[in-house]
Amino acid sequence: MKLLDPETWGGKLYINGWRAGQDPDYTVIEPATGETLGSVATASRDDVLTAATQAAEAQREWSAKTPRERAAVLRRAGQLFEEHAEEIQSWIIREAGSIPPKAGLETMVAADECYEASALPSLPQGDVLATNEDRWSQSRRLPVGVVSVIAPFNFPLILSIRAVAPALALGNAVLLKPDPRTSVAGGVVLARVFEEAGLPTGLLQLLPGGRETGTAVVEAPEVRVVAFTGSTEAGRHIGEACARLLKRAHLELGGNNAMIVLPDADLDRAASAAAFGSFMHQGQVCMTTGRHLVHEDIYEEYVKRLAEKAEGIPVGNPASEEVALGPIIDENQLKRIDSIVQESVLGGGRIAAGGTYDGPFYRPTVLTDLSTESPAWSEEIFGPVAPVMKFSTVDEAVELANASPYGLSLSILGEVGEAMKIADRVRSGKIHINEQTISDEANAPFGGFGDSGNGTRVGGHQANMESFTELQWLTLRPEIAPYPF
């Protein structure tokens, strides 16, 4: 059976969620070619409210299931991601413009997320508390109820499943709103996997759509937690809405991540790490290396080697060519990337490599001679651009790294002792010594500081438990307590 065969799922209601292929409102376009891949229906506000009601009803029975029953569904989902990896990857390649290794990473991580989540139902669900009263006192964790997951286009499968899997495992229902540009890889794939894994009807509601749909999945009365991954601007609006409605918002937002290259760093390996960090998936990653801070003693040679790497990277259609970089997701993003590059050059920056594009394919670009006010240095570009700046002292490097309002990921290349001292002085949700800035594992906490979000909200049992459960205090006595009234 093909998991995503239109004859299998076309026009079918997704677990009481939304249809794909019937009465389409949105056309799915392959960014590399402009070819139409399919179409999906858009959920209206009324549709979302209906789905939320259904989810809340289904959640009550699901939360009463035994840990073994819930874990079995998550384990089977992980197996299905592995069994149908090739089919799923073909959609990630064509719909998100991913190269095959990146698509393979997504299916592997999706399976890992499900396997990690399958352990959550059996973990301790609370604590026995000390008490000064003649009673037993305990805290226990309960499902929050209904969780809304809003996911972006760049890693559509990973950035959906990392919240969907633990939320379901811990007894919740989920409203899933993928980015409309990747509704299949970030939505239909999950709906079909969990349907085949035996998830009861109503628990995972697939709700494709744009801003109106996103607003509705935040405001639906049954929703208690919103897990959002996307831009800082959109995250602020969601956070404000959740605060007004007294809901918890888990926000994983943008980044302008620094790589600090110390004078003793191996330049060949540093240039390789830097190229991967800035250019992987066309730079369309929240953890992309957006600022290269290089010691002045090795600055010129570093720029030269990084530019050589950039010039040698093949760019093209990952579905039909053997390339390292694919297309930018759409024309608006392409224009934004190029405008930032050109504006930075007008402000005194120099292009050491790239700075051009052909159709949707932007060449890997290296920029130097920048000021801290340059848009290429101060903004999240979300494109394959490596801005490089020199520093003379460690204090200066730390100051420049901390100057950004973002605080998602940081890389330090060089002697470990010095790197550890720097790590203690830089504010970042993730720090990688002698690695580049992009890394993620299902059992590791993931989150950022400042404009990068409101802390670690997913990854690892502790973060997932705190994100998708509520704490309840429970006391009990063998008989009714005496009172003075």
Q: What angle do CA 413, 418, 419 make, to 5 degrees?
A: 40
The residue annotated as part of the active site, out of 116, 195, 219, 252, is 252
Nearest to 156 by CA among 189, 129, 133: 189
Q: Is residue 303 packed enough to be buried (19+ CB in 10 Å), middle (13-18) or exposed (0-12)?
A: buried
The enclosing H or E element of 294 equals strand 289-295
- Asked about 252 being catalytic, the answer comes back as yes
Among candidate residues 251, 322, 315, the one with its CA nearest the CA of residue 280: 315
Neighbours of 268 (CB within 10 A): 10
Q: Are 74 and 169 in contact (CB under 8 A)?
A: yes
- Measuring CA to CA, how many Å separate 160 from each of 8, 106, 210, 227? 22, 11, 16, 9
Q: Is the alpha carbon torsion for 98, 380, 180, 225 positive or negative?
A: positive
Catalytic residue among 286, 296, 415, 441: 286
- Closest by CA to 82, choosing from 47, 120, 111, 59, is 111
DSSP state of 187: I
286 in catalytic set: yes
Rounded Cα–Cα distance for residues 70 and 117 (Å): 10
Pair type for strands 289-295 and 257-261? parallel
Quote the CA–CA distance of 24 and 312 in Å, as a whole number. Answer: 42
CA distance 90 to 359: 22
The Cα diameter of the chain in Å comes to 84
Active-site positions?
A: 252, 286
